[in-house]
Structures are given as structure tokens and as C-alpha cells.
Structure 1
């Protein structure tokens, strides 16, 4: 029987995995049973992590197991890829059976109109040359308390209508009342023209149709005088709009105007810029610039992650979740930033500055709390090559401790430490390193580790040093 393989750059969450499996069962005529608390557990054998997580207490009728592996995109990458096959997917293999590609966000229309709709839109365009027949999904996963439903912004309606036109299934947001795919090109253009214009001085996004071209205006440079391609919301918006124009049957030129990009920037970066990749996919041009005749896109869409510090701190996070500990805060490298969780369960968005309003609020990659021993562990994740930087960074945690941890958790015991991934050390590389994961999966834990960490790894065969 086949297995389900979920590949992701994110720290996998049981609630999100359940949503994805429910989506799979709905669209692929399968059934799901929840047998208890859903657990995502690393496979550790004789002290070695196999770089695979297995989902427990979630059973699918037409699949044997649900496995999760950590990957990274070689450029723009959707958050989750779901394969159905016996063995793990192979990098670049055309024989693999990718059935779903999912982008997940907890950003609502209230929090950020551009981020919630536009900023992620280019990902749905970029995947198409690599996987042409995969089903695409936008999953809204709101963690905060439900808000009263109200009419969404025009930006939200416009962006969501484009996603629906492109064949993206929207989950977690009711699309029956406010949203529908565009029926034709004129409808798209008329809707955009009726939207409120931005403040004076900003470049508006407009769509103008001529006999031989469609012009879409929008600034790509950030800041405006940089000459680069760095305005992420507009990268997403212009990618989505252009893809929708093609979807609705336009075969002539699409020209991006008022973009602010220089010829020098295009010449220098055309082989490693996601928007120029998308220009290549859709046949778009930048007004006034000579586009490169051929943009060499990355050979593969994704690769298994072997170069990120998050490999160690996500492993530590997930292994401790089911042994009396829980996550207070997470900011794993390359993953969506989490909320700060108080002891009462309140979720708080941490600011960028401390209470002074001047100094940065330095944040660990993960903060773990063990209720039985009243112990809080602040973990800074680093690669072996950046160990010294991690040791220096944990000295900056005074503000998060004084302003958030002690007020929310009382007079707890606090440990500041570093987790390390990479290399092939046979011993803990520094006394401040709590947790070490070697390239071959060997796990070494500091012999001074608190009892809660020892409890979490009991019976796994890990080395203490």
C-alpha cells in the first residue's frame, strides 16, 4: 500500500496536517480516522535521527503511513507538497506522484491585505513548469480567536478571485459569498479599475488593454530608487494578475510599466531572480528593458534540507512536545513566525522592539516550557559553522525574559542554550550547546541537560556528553 509523504519547509503542526489530510480525503475519495491526540514524532533509531517524522493517531483508508520530511525550495516554494507513493520522493524525479501543493498562512485580511493575498501569489505561478497537473490549494489557518465575519476588502476579493480563476482551491475562508472566478478578461480589468487608488505618490497597479499588448503598472523596486526587484507584495500581485491574463486567453504581450527596475539589475540577476523566472514562464516584459533571451531556471523545484540550523531545533521541538513540555514561542529559520503563548493559553504577537521602543527584541528560535519542573529553555539554533555567533546571541535575551517570560510564567527556572546542526562531531562542541545533530543523524545531548530533556529522549539511544 502507498504512503503519504508530506514535504515542507515549515515546522509541521498537527492541526495543519489534519487539515491537509482532510483536504486530501475530500478531493481523492479517501477516508480519515482520528484515533487520539495527533502526534508528529521523529524516527530515532539507536541514537540516530532518520530525518523522517511519522504522524501517529491519524489513519487514512488508502495509505499505510503518513510521513513528513523537511525540504527547501530552490527558489519560490509552496509550504507543503503531498505525495502518494510507497517510498520517499526523490529530488527531481519525474516518476514521483505529487498530488497536492499547499500554501498555508495564518495572516488574515485584517492583519495584512497584501501579505494575505498578494505576497504568496507568485508561488502558484512558479510551480507550474515543474508540476503541471498538481492540485493547488491556499489554506487559511487562523490561530487567533475567530473574528466577526465582515465584508472583505477589495484587495482581498480581487486577489482571491484571481486564485480561483487560476484553479487554486481556497480552504479556511468562505468563498461562497464574496468571491468568484473572473469570467473573462474585461471583467478582470473592470474590477481592478473600480478599486480605490493608493495615496498620492505611490505607483498604482492598473491594467490597460491595447490591440497588441496589455500593460500592467506596478513598482517592483524597493526602495523606489533601488533599481532592484524587491517589493514582495507587488511581485506576487503582478505575477498573479499576469497569470490570470494568460489563463483568460490573452496570447499577446504583457508589459510591466512604472516598475523602477534598471537594466543593470536585470543583467546581473536574471539567472537567480524569482520574478524574472516568472516573466520567463508567462512571457512578460519589463517596459523599457531588454529581457534576457533565456532565463535558466533551477533544475529542481525542491531539495532535501541539509544546510539549515532548523533541522536541529525543529527536531528538539517536536521530540519534547509529547513528554510534558510545550512550545512557548517558535521562530524557526525560514518558517512562519509563531505567537508567544502565555501560561493561560493567550496568544500574543511579539513586537520587533523591546519596551524601550528603540532596541530590537531578540528572539530565540524556540522557547520550550516544562510544567512539571517549571523550567523554560530558550534555544538559539545555529549551524556548526556559526556556533560562536549563537553563543553571543543568547546573551541578548534579557528583554524577552523580563518583559514576557517572567510576567507570563512567574519565577521559573530559565536556561539559555544553543542547538547545532551540521558536521560530524563526536562530542558536544561547546558547553553552551544543549543539543547537537550531526549530518548523519547522530544526536548528542549535553550531559548537563535538565531532567525534562532527558525524559523526552529516554529510550532513543542518544549520546550524552
Structure 2
């Protein structure tokens, strides 16, 4: 049978190797894994929208395929299947994998809390799939984890999520909570939020006895009319969009349900009004799944009657977005030339680091002038490309703006925005390189490109079209790809 890996991210070799090694270890199979490559599969000179991963020799695995997908709400980064045929939404994945490059040293909340939401949501569709939180760190791991990291990690473990890619000196961090009381006690001892912020607190109440704390941890008393109140601010910029707190609430509530609590869970001090509560919001969907309430508000009911229909809503094969073309070019260049990406921000994917000439990973600044941006000047941000490629053979750096074919003229216009990143980063770290700006397109049915600013088009049929002035590395890499698949 075949191993199928579905992802909405640009697939990374290091992550793919971890996935393959995990699968081999769980299957107790022997294999040789060496020098993985991701090859676009070409038939009749057209891209099939499938990639083949080579470099794994195992008699029990025929081939390893990868496809780009998209999720509609809180979708994990990777779904992994082992089966003969291409997965459908009705197939059950072996693994649900969320990957992050963020450590405590960069953000206490992004690395843990914002990821928890995805597992809580995915568990509804695939409760029997193995869940993995994979840390693919590009910076040094913080030696002493924060209390937020420890709490979030233990929440993940309580939800049955395996942690990979991080090492902990204290094994206590990897222990799931064994009781509701233990979870609440741990949270109550954590450092309090700064003055003026709404702290996340958990309180056991009895709806008849007016908020009397229950001293026992006997599960039998955690049933209606008992309830738990969790305080957390959920409003941000006038919307239900406070992602770290949404993740924290989702994780805490999910863990409470996992530990056997069947009473009401009420979110207080959320700062929302009724108009900000809509059915398409991921938190409202999770609130329906976990039977949560918002104090003073009515949560819209979402009837989830047909699980097969809902799985189709959870993920689908991507055939519309611009990232199909930018990810294709990224993988094409890295696997069929000596070039590599030094920055990536493919549409809908996680923003990467800028890689310097000394192979250091640095985060790009967000604003040219933060004060002006906060004052309302939206042009004060740093405009960044979807992809920056390094061509060491021709000493060129290619700044790439990805767009759909119908938005090609907008892409050409946006090429004008790259002065800041070129002057502040590229020229600083790669002073001897020539800088080229190019648009990469997906979609339509054209077989030729007229605009000289467009370097490459991947059309809806999989036809790969080079622009009139395509970067040299595009031409070289595409020739190698076609030669590789050429039949004798």
C-alpha cells in the first residue's frame, strides 16, 4: 500500500522524515531512509498536482505521495493515511499532525495555546486518529519552559496528543492531568496576568448554591447542576478573534470533558456582544462541540447531523489558490537545482524566517514605522514576498509574488512594494547578488504569458508555462524536471 501525506503547508523535508520515521516505528518495519526528495509528478508534460517522496526503501511501502489540501476551520497541518487509493474525506487518517516552528523564547502563547484549538476541533471528525504536536524549531529551545508552556503541554497530553521535537529535563511536564482538581489547582498557581488584563481563571460553581467551591474531586459531583466558569477575554479588534485565549479555552474545556466533567462550562469576562458571535467562527463551532456557553449571550446552534458531510467541510484538495504555484516553484527549484528558498510566506501557510548568508534564521520586522501604522497608515507595514529564492549559480535572488491568473495585474503592481525588504535585508546579507522580481501564477487555461513581469504560470490543467523573461533558475529547474519524467 501507499503512504499518503496531505498538507496545506509547504512540505518540509525535516518534517516529512519525522513523519516517515514515526510511521515506521509504529509499524515496527525496517527501512532505509536517506536523502529525501519531493518530486512533482508529471504525466504528458503536465503536473498532476501530486508529489512523490523518494528516498525511503521499505518493502511494505509501495510509494509515498503528497498532495496540497486546504481546511476550512482550525485544520491541522498534516493528515497521514496508509492505503492503496488516494484518500477521500471518508477515509480515516493514521495521524493528525500539527507543526510549529515557534518556541517559548519567541511567544508563550503561539507555540502552545493557538495549536490546541486544532486538536480539539479535529478530534470530532477523527477521534481514533493518533494526534501529534511536532515542534520543528529553527531557534534554540528555551532552557526553562514558561508556566504557560508547561500548562499547555499538559493540556495537550490530557487530550491524548503526543509531543515530538522538544526535549524536557523534567518529565512532569509531559504528564497529563489526572483529575479536574489537579488541572484547576495548577492553573491557579500560575503567574497572574498583568494589571488591566483579564486573567484566565477556572472556578467550580454550583448553580444552586451560588458559586461555592467544591472541595472534593469526586467525578460524580461534576455533573449538572454543577458548572465551571472560565474567565477569558475573547474579543480583539471588535471581533471574536483572540486566538491565544480561544486556544486556551478550547484546551481547558476539552481537557475538562476528557476528565469526565459533564456539567455546564460557562465563559465569563469575554468582552463580546451578540453581534460578534457568528456560526462560522471556529470558537463557536468548538463551543457547540464541547457544549460551552458565553455569559449573557446566546451561542448559535450548529446542527452537526451528517459526519460525512462535515468531514468534507473539514478539508478538501486545493485546486484554486495561488499557493499551488508558489509551492510548486519552491519545491521545483530546491529539488532540481542548486537553489534554495531563503524566505517563504506562501498564501495561507505559516510565515517563515529570513535565512542569512551565514545560515542564521531571523524574523522579519512587521512594520517600517509601527507608530504610523497604529495611527492608521496601512502602508507603514513591511511588504513581504510570498517566496524569496536564492540562485547561487547565477548569483541572483528572486522575489516572488504569487497570485491567481485573474489577479495577475494586481501581482505585477505589488512587485513595486519590495524596496524595504531588499534594502534592509537582501542587500545587507547578500550584497553580491542581483535582485529579480517575478510574479508566479496559478489558474486559468492559458498556454502562454504575455506580461514580461510574470515568470511562471501553472494553469488549472497542470500545464507549466515559462514567462518571456523567466528567471534562469526557473528555466533550468523545469528542464530538469521534464527530463526526469521523459519516457524512453
Distance in 2 between residues matched to 1:31 and 1:350, nearest whole Å: 42
CA shift at 1:115, angstroms?
0.5
2:99 maps to 1:104: yes
* Equivalence for 1:55: 53
Q: Deviations over 1:405-430 (max 9, x none)?
A: 12212232221110011111122152
Q: Report the TM-score, using the length of structure 1 for normalisation.
A: 0.92
2:22 maps to 1:6: no
* Equivalence for 2:223: none
Structure 1 unaligned blocks of 5 or more: none
Aligned with 1:122 (options 117, 125, 146): 117
* Equivalence for 1:69: 67
Aligned with 2:242 (options 227, 231, 234): 231
Conservation of the 8 A alpha-carbon contact between 1:22 and 1:32? no
2:147 maps to 1:154: yes
* Equivalence for 2:82: 84
Conservation of the 8 A alpha-carbon contact between 1:84 and 1:97? no
Distance in 1 between residues matched to 2:60 and 2:163, nearest whole Å: 24
Rate the CA distance shift 1:460–1:151 in 2: closer, same or farther, 3 A.
closer
2:407 maps to 1:386: yes
Rate the CA distance shift 1:117–1:61 in 2: closer, same or farther, 3 A.
farther
1:111-190 equivalence runs, <5 A: 111-144=106-139, 146-147=140-141, 150-175=143-168, 177-179=171-173, 180-190=175-185
2:222 maps to 1:208: no
Aligned with 2:189 (options 191, 194, 215): 194
Q: Deviations over 1:113-156 (max 9, x none)?
A: 11111011110010122112000000011123x34x63211111
CA shift at 1:288, angstroms?
1.4
Distance in 2 between residues matched to 1:200 and 1:344, nearest whole Å: 42
Conservation of the 8 A alpha-carbon contact between 2:332 and 2:481? no
The DSSP-based 3-state class of the residue aligned with 2:33 is strand
Structure 2 unaligned blocks of 5 or more: 207-225, 373-379, 484-488
More displaced stretch, 71-80 vs 17-26:
17-26
2:440 maps to 1:446: no
Distance in 2 between residues matched to 1:255 and 1:459, nearest whole Å: 59
CA shift at 1:333, angstroms?
0.8
Distance in 1 between residues matched to 2:199 and 2:390, nearest whole Å: 47
Q: CA RMSD in A?
A: 1.9
Rate the CA distance shift 1:140–1:461 in 2: closer, same or farther, 3 A.
closer
* Equivalence for 1:28: 27
* Equivalence for 2:429: 408
More displaced stretch, 49-58 vs 99-108:
49-58
Q: Report the TM-score, using the length of structure 2 for normalisation.
A: 0.88
Distance in 2 between residues matched to 1:296 and 1:258, nearest whole Å: 28
CA shift at 1:231, angstroms?
0.3
CA shift at 1:254, angstroms?
0.7
Distance in 2 between residues matched to 1:294 and 1:397, nearest whole Å: 44
Where in structure 1 do 4 or more consecutive aligned residues deviate above 3 Å?
293-298, 354-359, 459-462
Distance in 2 between residues matched to 1:460 and 1:328, nearest whole Å: 22
CA shift at 1:355, angstroms?
8.2
Distance in 1 between residues matched to 2:52 and 2:450, nearest whole Å: 29
* Equivalence for 1:308: 321
Rate the CA distance shift 1:352–1:151 in 2: closer, same or farther, 3 A.
same
Distance in 1 between residues matched to 2:360 and 2:144, nearest whole Å: 27
* Equivalence for 2:211: none
Question: Between Structure 1 and Structure 2, which shows a larger proportion of helix residues?
Answer: 2
* Equivalence for 2:376: none
Distance in 1 between residues matched to 2:410 and 2:398, nearest whole Å: 18
Q: Deviations over 1:309-328 (max 9, x none)?
A: 11001101100113121112
Count residues with an aligned counterpart: 449
CA shift at 1:460, angstroms?
4.6
Conservation of the 8 A alpha-carbon contact between 1:10 and 1:336? yes
More displaced stretch, 64-73 vs 291-300:
291-300
2:393 maps to 1:372: yes
* Equivalence for 2:232: 218
CA shift at 1:285, angstroms?
0.9
